[in-house]
Structure 1
Amino acid sequence: MPKDAAVEEFAGLVRALKARDGRSYEALGRRLSVSASTLHRYCSGATVPEEFAVVDRLALLCEVDEEERRALEAAWTEADRARRRAASPAPTPVPAVSAAPEANPEPSAPEPGPGPAPDPSAADLSAPEAPRARPRRGVPAPLFVVAVALVVLALAAALLGHRTHTESAAPLPFTWSIGSQLWEGGCAHTYLVDRAPRAVAPPPVTADSGEWAGTHGAVHGGEALVRITVQGRSPSDAVVLHALHVRVVDRAAPLPWNAYRMDNGCGGAVTPRHFAVNLDRPRPLARPVDGLDASGAEVRKIPAVSFPYKVTSSDPEELLVSARTVGCDCRWYLELEWSAGGRTGTVRITDGGKPFRTSGTRGRPTYVHDSAEGRWITDPDSGKTRVTDK
Structure 2
Amino acid sequence: MTSYAAIGGRSGWVVPDRGDDPIPYRSPSAPPSAEAVFSSGGELTVTVQGLVGRSVVLQSMTVDVVRRSPAMTGVFLPVGVQGGVPPRKFLLNLDATAPKIVPEPDTVSFPYKVNEVEPEQFVITPEVTTGDIEWRLLLRWTSGSDEGTLVLPEAGKPPFRTTATTAVRPFCFDFNHRTWKPSC
Secondary structure at the aligned position of 2:21 is classed as helix
2-structure distance, mates of 1:178, 1:248: 18
The letter for the 2-side match of 1:234 is V
Superposition pairs of residues 177-216 of structure 1, within 5 angstroms:
177-179=1-3, 181-184=4-7, 189-194=11-16, 195-198=18-21, 200-201=23-24, 203-207=25-29, 209-210=30-31, 212-214=32-34
Identical counterparts, % of pairs: 28
Alignment correspondent of 1:357? 161
Q: Which residue of 1 aligns with 2:36?
A: 218
The number of residue pairs the alignment matches comes to 181
Q: Over residues 203-230 of structure 1, what are the superposed CA-to-partner deviations in whole Å (9 max), with x where a residue is unaligned?
A: 33325x14x343xx10012234221111
Q: 1:330 & 1:250 partners in 2: Cα distance? A: 6
The residue aligned with 2:148 is: 345
Tell me whether 1:232 sits opposite 2:55 in the alignment: no
1:275 to partner: Cα distance: 1.2
Residue 188 of structure 1, CA deviation: 6.5
SS of residue paired to 1:287: strand
Q: Secondary structure at the match of 1:228?
A: strand
Q: Shift of the alpha carbon at 1:369?
A: 1.6
Structure 1, unmatched stretches of 5+, are 1-176, 291-302, 379-386
| Selected match of 1:310 from 113, 125, 144 | 113
| Structure with greater helix share of residues | 1
Q: In the TM superposition, what is the alpha-carbon distance from 1:356 to its structure 2 partner?
A: 0.6
Instruction: Tell me what 1:254 maps to.
Output: 71
| Structure 1 CA distance for aligned equivalents of residues 177 and 143 of structure 2 | 56
Q: Which amino acid aligns with 1:324?
A: E
Whose relative contact order is higher, 1 or 2, with alpha carbons under 8 Å and at least 6 apart? 2
Offset, 1:308: 1.3
CA distance in 2, matches of 1:316, 1:375: 36
CA contact (8 A) 2:49 2:120 kept: yes
- Normalised TM-score (structure 1): 0.42
Distance 1:256 1:369 in 2: 19
1:1-390 → structure 2 map (5 Å cutoff)? 177-179=1-3, 181-184=4-7, 189-194=11-16, 195-198=18-21, 200-201=23-24, 203-207=25-29, 209-210=30-31, 212-214=32-34, 217-235=35-53, 237-262=54-79, 273-290=88-105, 303-350=106-153, 353-372=157-176, 376-378=180-182, 387=183
Q: Which letter maps to 1:178?
A: T
TM-score scaled to structure 2, two decimals? Answer: 0.84
Q: Helix, strand or coil: the match of 1:223?
A: coil
* C-alpha distance 267-232 of structure 1, shift in aligned 2 (>3 A): closer
Bigger fraction of residues in strand? 2
CA distance in 2, matches of 1:311, 1:271: 15
Contact 1:222 1:361 in 2 (8 A): yes
Distance across 2 between alignment mates of 1:241 and 1:221: 28
Q: Give the root-mean-square deviation of aligned CA atoms.
A: 2.8
1:365 aligned partner, one-letter code: R
